[in-house]
Chain A
Amino acid sequence: EAGVVQSPRYKIIEKKQPVAFWCNPISGHNTLYWYRQNLGQGPELLIRYENEEAVDDSQLPKDRFSAERLKGVDSTLKIQPAELGDSAVYLCASSLSSLDEQYFGPGTRLTVT
């Protein structure tokens, strides 16, 4: 069974530039999560989807971050414009339901210069 796929694995951009991350969850998983993980910290939830509906986006900085999950499968997280403080690892995870264990992708390491 394929795991959670994320791309790209690494991204270096200059501040004020846009960037997008893509996630393909495990087949059949209804719940999809985007997290941000800073060095030495645990993952912090940015947004959670149940199928195509964003049910928890209270931690998403909506002035610059946006996300979508068309057709309830793949998801894209976008930052525009990026700031220096956005440098982090962006993790995607999926689960059968919101109460089940999560399966994490390898993450995208973003560096904003």
Chain B
Amino acid sequence: GNSVTQMEGPVTLSEEAFLTINCTYTATGYPSLFWYVQYPGEGLQLLLKATKADDKGSNKGFEATYRKETTSFHLEKGSVQVSDSAVYFCHLNAGGTSYGKLTFGQGTILTVHP
């Protein structure tokens, strides 16, 4: 079945530090991959996505590359800000009837200190 494994947190960084949040997946077929973010007191919202192998999704300084050879979609940012403090979720969408239960990662709590 389809599933994602996301690195456990929480992650605590100082402002301007480099961020990596690991995400690996197991899937049949050719899924699309997403990162969603949940800021304090708000609902989940899309951060970025990639729909095929070698695609790079980017938004707000965050990037993630769809790596089929390593079945990974790691989230990176070169210089984090206090406003990036949030919970980040990796998500796999294979569509059809192969959606599966574990297609969201467990979430990684990021806290950025000034």
A-binding segment of B14-22, B62-70, B77-85, B102-110: B102-110
- A-B pairs with beta carbons under 8 Å apart, 20 shown: A4-B43, A41-B106, A41-B107, A44-B102, A44-B104, A45-B100, A45-B103, A55-B97, A56-B99, A59-B101, A91-B44, A98-B96, A99-B32, A99-B93, A101-B49, A102-B46, A103-B45, A104-B45, A106-B42, A107-B43
Q: How far is the CA of A31 from the CA of B95 in the complex (A)?
A: 11
Interface on B for A, CB 8 Å cutoff?
6, 32, 34, 36, 42-46, 49, 89, 91, 93, 95-97, 99-107
Tell me if A45 and B93 are in contact (CB < 8 A): no
Given A91-B44, A99-B95, A102-B46, check contact A42 B105 (CB 8 Å): yes
A25 CB to closest chain B CB, in angstroms?
A: 13
7 nearest A-B pairs in the assembled complex, by CB-CB distance:
A42-B104, A104-B44, A99-B95, A104-B43, A101-B46, A106-B43, A98-B95
What are the residues of chain A within 8 A of B105 when measuring CB–CB?
42
When C-beta atoms are compared, the residue in chain A nearest to B32 turns out to be A99
Interface residues, chain A, CB within 8 Å of chain B? 4, 40-45, 48, 55-56, 58-59, 91, 93, 98-99, 101-107
**Alpha-carbon separation in the docked complex, A43 to B89 (Å):** 9
B104 touches A105 (CB 8 A): no
Residue of B nearest to A44 (CB): B101
CB distance from B44 to the nearest CB of A (A): 4
**In the complex, which residues of chain B have a beta carbon less than 8 angstroms from the beta carbon of A98?**
93, 95-96, 99
CB distance from A7 to the nearest CB of B (A): 14
In the bound complex, CA of A42 to CA of B25 (Å): 15
A105's closest neighbor in chain B, by CB? Answer: B43
